[in-house]
Structure 1
């Protein structure tokens, strides 16, 4: 996913780029995009202001780069969950439950997930709609692909895999993330109940009528 404007921006060293991104992320999270200056980012990264402009063009591109870098870790987390649980399994229901539980556990322990959530919530107005749409599509891509394949194998009835992926996420891990929390994260038992019931509701809607949910993939 590359939504940077097509400008003449130096490639530069990976070390300097990492320092700039880290500094910008910290400042955007603590002070907000509008109140964070390129001067402050440069000072925190230990580089010149010119270097920041040479590498990223402007502050808007820098925000996009920060969100892209942060989202990459979250997308990798989803890919790992798919690889770990949605390729080889005996029970589709159990595989989906384990996948969601891994996503929740990984997100709860991830500073990248928390940073991404905050950036998207607070800085949405400073991010192009096309960028947000691309990010949303990227987060669903792996699940959509697997659901399409499950449909081809007769494990799910998914005429619209993209909509099915949205329903699945809304009923399971997104419902967990959206629960009010007084202190820390939800109790493990409550999380498991939300996910398990969500998966079962999803399968009631999307399991083929003539096939049991416990089918083994071919």
Structure 2
């Protein structure tokens, strides 16, 4: 996603850029966007204030870059799950369950996922609506592509693969993430039950039998 709006921003050294992004991410998470200044980011990164401006233009662009790089790691996690479970399989029901379980396991152990969710929730007012829409779409694109192909081969009945993807996510891994919990993660048995039942309901609506019954 290109959010620089033609600003003249230096490429700079990869080491300095990495330090600036790491410092900004830590400060945005601990202090919030509004209470974080470019001065504090520069000081934490060990660079000059001018370097931060030269590399990123302004503080909002820095926030967008932090989110973009953090979301990239989350997208890789989703693509890995697709590659592991939704490309070659014998049983679609089991493949979807294994995919969701891997997404949940990966997210629970991912500081990138935790940071992405926290920043999107807490800094939504400082993020352009179009950026949030693109971010949301990016996380769904891989699943949409697979569901489109499943529809073409008759595995699913998905007139609207994008909507089917939203329903699938809401019934499975997003439902797990949204469960109230007293400890950090849900019990494995509860997670398994939510995902298994979610996949069952999804396939009741979009499975191969829905094509045969039409």
Q: Which TM-score band applies after superposition, normalised by the shorter structure?
A: over 0.9
**Is the contact between residue 144 and residue 165 of structure 1 (CA under 8 Å) also seen in structure 2?**
yes
RMSD (CA atoms): 1.0
Please identify runs of 4+ aligned residues in structure 1 that moved more than 4 A. Answer: none
**Is the contact between residue 147 and residue 158 of structure 2 (CA under 8 Å) also seen in structure 1?**
yes
Compute the displacement of 1:6 (Å).
1.8
Matched, 1:86 2:86: yes
Distance in structure 2 (CA, Å) of the matches to 1:14 and 1:197: 46
**Is the contact between residue 140 and residue 165 of structure 2 (CA under 8 Å) also seen in structure 1?**
yes
Q: Could you say which residue in structure 2 is the equivalent of 1:151?
A: 151
Compute the displacement of 1:210 (Å).
6.6
Q: Alpha-carbon deviations, 1:67-93, whole Å to 9, x = none?
A: 001100000000000000000000000
SS of the residue corresponding to residue 180 of structure 1 reads coil
Compute the displacement of 1:162 (Å).
0.1
Distance in structure 2 (CA, Å) of the matches to 1:165 and 1:5: 31
**Is the contact between residue 81 and residue 99 of structure 2 (CA under 8 Å) also seen in structure 1?**
yes
Distance in structure 1 (CA, Å) of the matches to 2:53 and 2:158: 47
SS of the residue corresponding to residue 54 of structure 1 reads helix
**Is the contact between residue 157 and residue 210 of structure 2 (CA under 8 Å) also seen in structure 1?**
no
Q: Alpha-carbon deviations, 1:103-159, whole Å to 9, x = none?
A: 000000000000001000000000000000000000000000000000000000000
Compute the displacement of 1:184 (Å).
1.4
Tell me the matched-pair count. 212
SS of the residue corresponding to residue 12 of structure 2 reads coil
Q: Could you say which residue in structure 2 is the equivalent of 1:121?
A: 121
Q: Alpha-carbon deviations, 1:155-196, whole Å to 9, x = none?
A: 000000000000000000000000001011000000000000
Distance in structure 2 (CA, Å) of the matches to 1:210 and 1:126: 43
Distance in structure 1 (CA, Å) of the matches to 2:211 and 2:7: 53
Give the unaligned 5+ runs of structure 2: none
**Is the contact between residue 27 and residue 41 of structure 1 (CA under 8 Å) also seen in structure 2?**
yes
**Is the contact between residue 71 and residue 116 of structure 1 (CA under 8 Å) also seen in structure 2?**
yes
Q: Could you say which residue in structure 1 is the equivalent of 2:7?
A: 7
Indicate the structure whose relative CO is greater, using CA pairs within 8 Å and at least 6 residues apart: 1
**Is the contact between residue 157 and residue 211 of structure 2 (CA under 8 Å) also seen in structure 1?**
no
- TM-score, normalised to structure 1, is 0.95
- Following superposition of structure 1 onto structure 2, how do residues 1-218 of structure 1 map, counting pairs within 5 Å? 1-209=1-209
* Structure (1 or 2) with the greater helix fraction: 2
Distance in structure 2 (CA, Å) of the matches to 1:40 and 1:68: 21
